[in-house]
C-alpha cells in the first residue's frame, strides 16, 4: 500500500460500505483506479535506465501531452504544466520536443 495506515483504513471502509458481499474482493477496490492520471502509467524505469534518463522520458511525455491537449498552444501548455512559458521552451529544446508535435 503506497499511503499511510489511515489512508488504507479509509479505503477498506469505503469498499466495505459500497459492497453487498460479505467478503471484499478486488472488484470492490475498482474505485482506486478512477481519477488516476494517465501520466503515472509507464513511469517505471526501463532496464538499465538511469534516473536522469527516466526523468527526461517522463518530462518529455508530459510536455507532449500538454501540447496536444492545448492544441499546440505553448502558453496554455505551460500553464497546464505549472511552469513559465520560457521554461517550457527551454525544456522543449533540451528534450528535443518538436514545435508542432503530432
Grid-cell match 492520471, residue found = 37
**CATH class name, domain 39-94:** mainly alpha
- Report pLDDT digits (tens) over 42-100: 566 678 888 888 889 889 999 999 999 999 999 999 999 999 999 999 999 999 998 66
Q: Shortest CA distance to 30 belongs to which of 44, 19, 40?
A: 19
Residue ranges per structural domain of the chain:
5-36, 39-94
- Report pLDDT digits (tens) over 4-42: 888 888 888 888 888 888 888 888 888 777 655 554 555
Amino acid at each position: 500500500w503506497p499511503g499511510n495506515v489511515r489512508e488504507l483504513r479509509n479505503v477498506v471502509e469505503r469498499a466495505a460500505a459500497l459492497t453487498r458481499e460479505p467478503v471484499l474482493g478486488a472488484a470492490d477496490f475498482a474505485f482506486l483506479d478512477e481519477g488516476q492520471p494517465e501520466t503515472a502509467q509507464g513511469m517505471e524505469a526501463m532496464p538499465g535506465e538511469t534516473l536522469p534518463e527516466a526523468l527526461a522520458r517522463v518530462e518529455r511525455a508530459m510536455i507532449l501531452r500538454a501540447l496536444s491537449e492545448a492544441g499546440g498552444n505553448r502558453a496554455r501548455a505551460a500553464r497546464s504544466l505549472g511552469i513559465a512559458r520560457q521554461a517550457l521552451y527551454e525544456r522543449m529544446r533540451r528534450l528535443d520536443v518538436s514545435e508542432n508535435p503530432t
